[in-house]
Amino acid sequence: MLESYVRAGYPAIAITTPEENRALAEAKRVADRLNMSFATWSSTKSLSLDGKTQSVTDPVAALMAAFKFPSNTIYCLLDFHPYLKSPDVWRTAKDCFSALKSQGIVYLFISVEITIPPELAREIVIMDLPLPSRENLEELLASVAKAAGVELPADTTPVVEAALGLTTGEAENAFALTLVVEGSFSAQVVAREKEQIVRKSGVLEIYSPDVNMNAVGGLDALKSWLKKRVQAYNPKAQEFGLPAPRGVLLVGVPGCGKSLCAKALAAEWQKPLLRLDAGRLFGSLVGESESNTRRALETAEAVAPAVLWIDEVEKGLAGSQSSGRTDSGVTARVFGHFLTWMQEKKHPVFVVATANDVYALPAEFLRKGRFDEIFFVDLPTPEERADIIRVQLNKRHRDSKNFDLAVITCATENFTGAEIEECIVSGLFTAWNEGRELDTADIVAAAHEITPMSVGLADRIEALRDWAKNAARLANAASYSGAERPARVLRMEGANQ
């Protein structure tokens, strides 16, 4: 893309990237291919033109220095964005762009982020330097192996895939680390290092889920739907014409397994799990929120195929409708960028968004095309409560056959999955303090001491059920009687008969 802009005669280009050296190398390659001169400037290293240096520290003088360059020169200015706020600097820049465009002088601003003053908004084009591709990382892995004098593994795919989402420098360090720790290239070591690096970004977290769908009690309709969607990642399915699945929105009662499903899904599909905290996208500096959003989505695409988990998404999108009056439109711009990405994304990033309050979500977030499907997660049915009890007992190394599941199921009527788990945990504490094994009575007694959430939120839950009748599929639909099933499900069943 950079070469295209240079060939088209753009006078000023800004590249936002943390990989300064990679951006400089790309600019130098473009200059060599187009037989152009190459110059760089920074506040510490001054000016360099085709290997010759001279002392220039003033930013205005740095811009004016290009008048002495030969025609057709790419001029890279590093971390110049703070100076652009000065009227003297942006006025000088505007004059230089206009005067030197005919001579083929291209100003290339390289920095981690850049805010263009309004006076230069039509003069400077902004482009991002994408994170390294698989091919880039394979080349880097080969160069690291050659430098270290070790052989490449027969199959480099696991190591390269583990490094997706890292910058060139970060990947090189991770490859070197695995040689030090393991004596060979290890995908596990690279993945652990990537977890630390992604977390330091402050926007995304990467998880290594230790649960699968067997840890999710009930929700059979949702599980069945997800099982079908994973087949689309098979190359043969793509040849058949199946598109990569977009994602799913899980709306429902808190504590009923929505977040657990996201974790289990990534483990079941054997894909990386990225958690996006929508609240972390917003920064105090001008342009920081938009930059954080771009960086988060670029990282998710670089790691693809992956699962992107957005928990309680309604909290991050709150205020998008009134954004113009409350925060100069920052929330609306972030929301708009995210919606566009969901609609247009080309990389296989499966989005799992969870929400407890559907009425706090903007209408455009719910329309078809954003997600493959919207599921409503209701309170577990009796059959699902029994399934959850089995899962929780097995999780704590207890044989469910030694407990009266029917009695516990009855005692936990209208309980969420999280509340059922708490009953078992409380029962374990009681049994431990009394020096004996856990039994059915301990769990039932704990259940009698808990007031389920459904009591205080009865009206809210009923409102969610009314909404779901025509707007969502029921995640646990298979366990409901015909009278209770959403109208949408009944219509679908009638059409299939």
The per-residue pLDDT for range 413-467, each reduced to its tens digit, is 999 999 999 999 999 999 999 999 999 999 999 999 999 988 888 888 888 888 8
- Residue 236: other Cβ atoms inside 10 A: 8
What is the side-by-side order of every strand in the sheet holding 473-474?
204-207, 273-276, 306-310, 349-355, 247-252, 373-377, 473-474
pLDDT digits (tens, 9 = 90+) for 390-406: 999 999 999 999 999 99
Q: How confident is the model at residue 480 (pLDDT cuts 50, 70, 90)?
A: very low
In the predicted structure, residue 482 carries a pLDDT above the cut 70:
no
Q: Which of 84-88, 321-325, 333-337 has the highest mean pLDDT?
A: 84-88
* For residues 6-10, average pLDDT: 91
- pLDDT above 70 as % of the chain: 91
**pLDDT for residue 326:** 46
Closest residue by Cα to residue 306 from 226, 207, 221, 192: 207
Torsion of CA 160, 163, 168, 170, to 10 degrees: -140
**Residue that has been written with the tokens 């903007």 in this structure:** 362
CATH architecture of the domain with range 2-128: 3-Layer(aba) Sandwich (3.40)
Report the interhelical angle of 20-33 vs 168-182 (nearest 10°). 120
Residue 89: what pLDDT?
94
Spatial distance between the Cα atoms of 301 and 349, rounded to a whole number of angstroms: 6
User: What's the pLDDT score for residue 318?
Assistant: 59
pLDDT value, residue 412: 94
- Spell out the residues 6+ positions from residue 86 whose beta carbon is closer than 8 angstroms to its own: 59
Is it true that domain 382-455 has CATH number 3.40.960.10?
A: no
Radius of gyration (C-alpha) of the chain in whole angstroms: 28
Residue 288: the pLDDT is: 66
Beta bridge partners of 40: 48, 76
Give the per-residue pLDDT at 481: 38
Q: 213-377 with 382-455: one CATH topology? A: no
- Asked if residue 2 lies in contact with residue 127, where contact means CB atoms within 8 angstroms, the answer is yes
More confident residue, 217 or 89: 89
325 pLDDT more than 60:
no
Question: What average pLDDT does this structure show over 337-348?
Answer: 82
The answer to whether 453 and 419 are in contact (CB under 8 A) is yes
pLDDT computed for residue 486 by the predictor? 39
Q: Can you point out the beta strands (E) in 102-233?
A: 105-111, 124-128, 204-207
pLDDT, position 256 = 87
**pLDDT bracket for residue 76 (50, 70, 90):** very high
- Per-residue pLDDT, 302: 74
Q: Distance between the two ends of the chain, CA-based, in angstroms?
A: 54
Q: CA 458, CA 203: separation in Å to the nearest integer?
A: 35
Which residues lie closer than 8 Å to 300 by C-beta, 6 or more apart?
A: 165, 204, 274, 276, 306, 308, 347, 349
Mean pLDDT: which of 73-77, 115-119, 255-259 is highest?
A: 73-77
Q: For residue 287, name the pLDDT band (cuts at 50, 70, 90).
A: low
Q: What is the rounded CA–CA span in Å between residue 123 and residue 142?
A: 40
User: Does an H or E element contain 23, and which?
Assistant: helix 20-33
**Cis preceding linkage at 70, omega within 30:** no
pLDDT band of 107, cuts 50, 70, 90: very high
Average pLDDT estimate for 285-290:
63
With a cut of 50, say whether residue 212 has pLDDT above it.
Answer: yes
> pLDDT at position 488, please?
35
Residue 98 has pLDDT above 80, yes or no: yes
* Helix (H) or strand (E) run with residue 354 in it: strand 349-355
Q: Give the position of tokens 């409102």.
A: 463
User: When comparing pLDDT for 151 and 477, which is higher?
Assistant: 151
pTM, rounded to two decimals: 0.70
Q: Look at 412 and 456; give whichever has higher pLDDT.
A: 412
The per-residue pLDDT for 282 is 67
Query: 315 Cβ partners below 8 Å, 6+ apart?
Result: 278, 279, 360
Decide yes or no: CATH 1.10.10.60 for domain 213-377: no
Q: 331 pLDDT band (50/70/90 cuts)?
A: confident
Domain residue spans in the chain? 2-128, 134-200, 213-377, 382-455
**Which of the two residues, 494 and 2, has the higher pLDDT score?**
2
